[in-house]
Structure 1
């Protein structure tokens, strides 16, 4: 017994915490008593000593509020959402102790952690709403190894799993990307409601209003509470443009007084409500006084017509204007780029020379090149800001011919994917500038997408409408079961449009076909033109663009 009491006193000298000191004082008192009473009273003294130590340990432990000496990291500030909780990792720093000795509790129940170096890691996972207490401590022995706790820490946190309740009134359709769109709804329990970078604080009853500068593209509205719980809902703000009845006009055609007057007469007679006017043509000539730096530097700009004056005139007559940009068939830019040492701007053959096609020795720019993509987008945005109501890309494809004979410098994806990605890059800048976006595509693209890199379902995701070129003279005999498409304009247009309708299902893209008003092998007049328009209408496609390279049309009054 003498040895036991001496060890307790020595322990008190080594340790400085209040419980150890109290035990040490008690041990010394017992030792003195033992020395004076002798062996006869040994049993009574031992019993008294043990009981006294136990009482002292319990008393001292009861006045210590929380164990100290460990730290916990990983708890976010404020109330914790379900999403945050699922990813939350708590780390207990052992502060020089053996981490294997750390005992963890959550809400008074033991939980298991994982030792990671000098820390213990614990992931709570999911927890019910409300307040929770996490405790970490290192148990240490008192007299006989019980009724004692060592270094520790406790943290209290609150969990909120419930997301706001979001109800959205879908905005009304508008006729242009120049019109703002109002989004209204209620978000009960939310602190913020946002669409993209725009956000508002809901009223006390949860109601909110957000005004978007234009109809959003693939947007969703997000309601968030203080904990970070979210509720989302997609927004479908439709653009309802009137039925398109349009003819193609070149820059030189518009500059020609007689041809221009013929077009204006069709407007006055109500035969058309839209004019498709070239911005950049098949030669790469930009037909008005463009300020796009690369257009001017390359010599592409020829001010053939006055774009602002033209737009004012047609808009005053109630006519929409769609600007056509021949995107990647561009001999002006291709030749200038090649001669300026920018060879990667040009599609090449396997021997490192410009790829020659039926359009010329050097006619196609490289759709995979960022500078060539930006050049066409810059022209589109400039035109939209000038007042063009729509932008249509033509020759948004690779050249005809064997893919094995073409090299697209810098390409990291297939031509088919790259072309669709170009439309994706164009969509928001063009719409932000106020115009809708469309793409002219080959008629065969509905069934042979890789032939010229035009995947209709993929492209349709990024445009307001697809404009398939369904010229009867361009189909092979027997296509779609039509023996002689050029002589059967109704049949080939009606049947080919069925495939385009299937290919655009599930997207918001409309179909407005290009129809033929020129003679190639078969003489075309008002009867053949009317047959194509009737076929489109009967196929469920109400609208058209007419193509005549000479800007002379046989469009009968409707």
Structure 2
């Protein structure tokens, strides 16, 4: 930090250049004694409050020293053995401070003239959206900060390159980092950057709560785990009946009698985790006849989707079957269950029936809906993700196969939903496609073709607004065509050939042929 002096031997003439005050000393015949010193004005751009740190002193005493700032008198106040100027918040730009000794006291010494520049504009800061980081690995934060002299990420610092570029490592498990770019004057630009944890993938089978409670159905799945045929078990939290498989502590679940108590959640999770597999909790969201009936009978009609005449909508699913995704209490109930499950130790929360009922939407009433059904569904996922992530779990959404091409039929906008989940799980069961879909003449008899083509469509949509992964539900049941190991393998291979090495197998009976899943 430069110090500017008035000396009996030297006349001080200051030459000003932008952002720098340089002193040029001219000899005179005055005796060699320092007259005044100004500190606190560095030779680089400064902040508007720079005068707070300026101090003026003289070995001859402080009486008679005068300061002028931009041609106007700057009041000085004693502060011990120095003078401090009145604190003034300066405008951005170039300023001139002139310090003069009392007239006639120190001979012909000229005033000290200090030119400095005030900079109150933060540097530019651009941070590229980071790639999701896979568990146990390290990713990168990249960006640029032209005009910055220092960039930090959560306390770790670096100097940006000549073009302002910077790179920082980031570990998996970090949810948000704070990037700070600081310029010479001390101005800061700050950005909080979310770090997505990349889903590790899965080879999973579906189990209901009843199936887990049955040794006959549970043990074959555990044997597949031990043989390395699967690495994940999907276990129902709340199913299509509205029943919760374990004893939930969520107050509304207890009030409406939703708890089935078929298994002990912690015991099941401990057992599966000890076997070295992940556990995905399937949570059926808005198809919930237990909540629907209880709400209707208690007079909370807005919690239920209705017909245009004010009756509870059924649409072939049963009385009070679909709760209203726009109702705050319905949303809060499902999020509370998701958060509870994540806290218990479920590795993923995978929503199902995260949609409106299929059918003519003009025949349905969604009380309180102020936007489109598609936007409301996406906003629910956004609310839920924060609660789920807080406990270290991933969030997924099961979607209809037709959602890729006819999203309005079930209110599943894949790009919008993808912004708020770690993966979408399209149900691309070959038996559910009509003839000619995706150019496939007979989808159920051509499992490879329909699976590959439909999944390519979903991958494109899931990448539109982010880097969301696609993990498909594949058919492990027979409908019109007998599905055995060959048909199941054909779907798995189709997914692999389009770059997807994960899957969930669905069989409502929870019986799986291990021959379809070779050990890894």
Per-residue deviation, residues 244-284 of structure 1 (Å, max 9, x unmatched): 10000000000001110011011011110000000000011
Match status 1:175 vs 2:139: no
Write the mapping of 1:68-147 to structure 2, written as runs, cut at 5 A. 78=49, 127-128=92-93, 130-131=94-95
Helix, strand or coil: the match of 2:307? coil
Picking from 449, 469, 484, the partner of 1:510 is: 469
Write the mapping of 1:78-477 to structure 2, written as runs, cut at 5 A. 78=49, 127-128=92-93, 130-131=94-95, 158-161=118-121, 163=123, 173-175=133-135, 214-216=173-175, 221-223=179-181, 229-232=187-190, 235=193, 237-477=195-435
Structure number having the greater strand percentage: 2
Contact kept in structure 2, 1:164 and 1:231, CA below 8 Å: yes
Aligned-pair CA distance for 1:191: 9.6
Aligned-pair CA distance for 1:487: 1.3
Aligned-pair CA distance for 1:235: 4.4
Structure number having the greater helix percentage: 1
Partner of 2:23: none
Match status 1:491 vs 2:462: no
Per-residue deviation, residues 299-340 of structure 1 (Å, max 9, x unmatched): 101110011011111111110000000000000000001101
Q: In 2 relative to 1, CA 214–522 (structure 1 residues): closer, same or farther, beyond 3 Å?
A: same
Contact kept in structure 2, 1:166 and 1:231, CA below 8 Å: no
Partner of 2:40: none
Aligned-pair CA distance for 1:209: 9.9
Aligned-pair CA distance for 1:224: 5.2
Per-residue deviation, residues 193-249 of structure 1 (Å, max 9, x unmatched): 67xxxx6596999x99999994326x6623457977333567473524433100000
Helix, strand or coil: the match of 2:257? coil
Per-residue deviation, residues 9-43 of structure 1 (Å, max 9, x unmatched): xxxxxxxxxxxxxxxxxxxxxxxxxxxxxxxxxxx
Contact kept in structure 1, 2:433 and 2:444, CA below 8 Å: yes
Partner of 1:537: 496
Partner of 1:116: none
Task: Provide the C-alpha distance between the structure 2 equivalents of 1:265 and 1:511, rounded to a whole number of angstroms.
Answer: 27
Contact kept in structure 1, 2:122 and 2:182, CA below 8 Å: no
Task: Provide the C-alpha distance between the structure 1 equivalents of 2:497 and 2:251, rounded to a whole number of angstroms.
Answer: 46
Aligned-pair CA distance for 1:131: 3.1
Q: In 2 relative to 1, CA 165–351 (structure 1 residues): closer, same or farther, beyond 3 Å?
A: closer
Aligned-pair CA distance for 1:77: 7.0
Helix, strand or coil: the match of 1:384? helix
Q: How many residues align structurally? A: 413
Contact kept in structure 2, 1:79 and 1:226, CA below 8 Å: no
Contact kept in structure 2, 1:437 and 1:463, CA below 8 Å: yes
Partner of 1:27: none
Aligned-pair CA distance for 1:524: 1.1
Helix, strand or coil: the match of 1:382? helix
Task: Provide the C-alpha distance between the structure 2 equivalents of 1:390 and 1:170, rounded to a whole number of angstroms.
Answer: 22
Task: Provide the C-alpha distance between the structure 1 equivalents of 2:172 and 2:198, rounded to a whole number of angstroms.
Answer: 17
Helix, strand or coil: the match of 2:200? coil
Task: Provide the C-alpha distance between the structure 1 equivalents of 2:157 and 2:407, rounded to a whole number of angstroms.
Answer: 48
Q: In 2 relative to 1, CA 256–165 (structure 1 residues): closer, same or farther, beyond 3 Å?
A: closer
Task: Provide the C-alpha distance between the structure 1 equivalents of 2:497 and 2:158, rounded to a whole number of angstroms.
Answer: 50
Contact kept in structure 2, 1:132 and 1:158, CA below 8 Å: no
Task: Provide the C-alpha distance between the structure 2 equivalents of 1:201 and 1:131, rounded to a whole number of angstroms.
Answer: 35
Gap regions ≥5 residues in structure 2 = 1-46, 52-68, 73-89, 98-115, 161-165
Deviates more, 1:179-188 or 1:256-265: 179-188
Aligned-pair CA distance for 1:343: 0.7
Task: Provide the C-alpha distance between the structure 1 equivalents of 2:446 and 2:129, rounded to a whole number of angstroms.
Answer: 48
Write the mapping of 1:57-72 to structure 2, written as runs, cut at 5 A. none
Q: In 2 relative to 1, CA 484–170 (structure 1 residues): closer, same or farther, beyond 3 Å?
A: closer
Deviates more, 1:240-249 or 1:391-400: 240-249
Gap regions ≥5 residues in structure 1 = 1-75, 81-105, 110-124, 134-155
Contact kept in structure 2, 1:530 and 1:555, CA below 8 Å: no
Aligned-pair CA distance for 1:181: 9.7
RMSD over equivalenced CA pairs, Å: 3.8
Aligned-pair CA distance for 1:158: 3.6
Partner of 1:34: none
Picking from 528, 553, 557, the partner of 2:487 is: 528
Task: Provide the C-alpha distance between the structure 1 equivalents of 2:367 and 2:143, rounded to a whole number of angstroms.
Answer: 49
Return the index of the structure with the highest Cα Rg.
1
Task: Provide the C-alpha distance between the structure 2 equivalents of 1:473 and 1:261, rounded to a whole number of angstroms.
Answer: 28
Q: In 2 relative to 1, CA 499–182 (structure 1 residues): closer, same or farther, beyond 3 Å?
A: closer
Per-residue deviation, residues 320-372 of structure 1 (Å, max 9, x unmatched): 00000000000000000110111111111111111121211210111001111
Task: Provide the C-alpha distance between the structure 2 equivalents of 1:414 and 1:159, rounded to a whole number of angstroms.
Answer: 47
Q: In 2 relative to 1, CA 190–295 (structure 1 residues): closer, same or farther, beyond 3 Å?
A: farther
Task: Provide the C-alpha distance between the structure 2 equivalents of 1:298 and 1:456, rounded to a whole number of angstroms.
Answer: 32
Partner of 1:65: none
Per-residue deviation, residues 68-115 of structure 1 (Å, max 9, x unmatched): xxxxxxxx97269xxxxxxxxxxxxxxxxxxxxxxxxx9679xxxxxx
Contact kept in structure 2, 1:214 and 1:432, CA below 8 Å: no
Task: Provide the C-alpha distance between the structure 2 equivalents of 1:191 and 1:397, rounded to a whole number of angstroms.
Answer: 48
Q: In 2 relative to 1, CA 470–167 (structure 1 residues): closer, same or farther, beyond 3 Å?
A: closer
